[in-house]
Amino acid sequence: MTITLSPSVGDALPEFTRTTGFENWNRYAAVNDEFVPIHMDDEAGRTAGYSGAFGMGNLQWAYLHNLVRDWLGDAGRIKSLSCQFRAVNTRGMTVTARGTVTAVRDEDGVRLADLEIWTEDQDGNKLAPGKAVVELDG
């Protein structure tokens, strides 16, 4: 069975949301061997100039990947994904990954969709804006 996805410019991707804190960061650190003091200890985070410990940038990257993969399902492949880390996520912050379709095009016989993607905090402040390109089946 072939699954197809027919996005249109302006379509919003279903959001991916997590409330972050030590539990999330410890699980992520365990998988990626990223037990860095600024992510585990409030004093280390304050020494680095923040209000306390903060989440890994690559965890926001993972949230963006989950956003695109969940939307795309088995209907295609992620060709590229990029983001810029602009702000940290602190303990107790709700981080939401969002995205919109900015273009749908054919290139060399392949159907592609361009996406604007980002993570934001509970107040709508963008933490990590980015872009993705997906190849659509069918």
Q: CA 43, 49, 50, 56 torsion: positive or negative?
A: negative
Half-sphere exposure of residue 124, counting CA atoms within 13 Å on the CB side?
A: 0
Residue 26, pLDDT score: 86
Distances (CA, A) of 17 to 1, 75, 125, 129, 131: 30, 22, 14, 15, 18
Residue 3, pLDDT score: 63
Residue 13, pLDDT score: 97
pTM, full prediction: 0.91
Per-residue pLDDT of the chain (138 residues; tens, 9 = 90+): 456 689 999 999 999 999 988 888 888 888 888 889 999 899 999 999 999 999 988 999 999 999 999 999 999 999 999 999 999 999 999 999 999 999 999 999 999 999 999 999 999 999 999 999 999 997
What domains appear along the chain, each with residue ranges and CATH number? 16-20+57-136 (3.10.129.10)
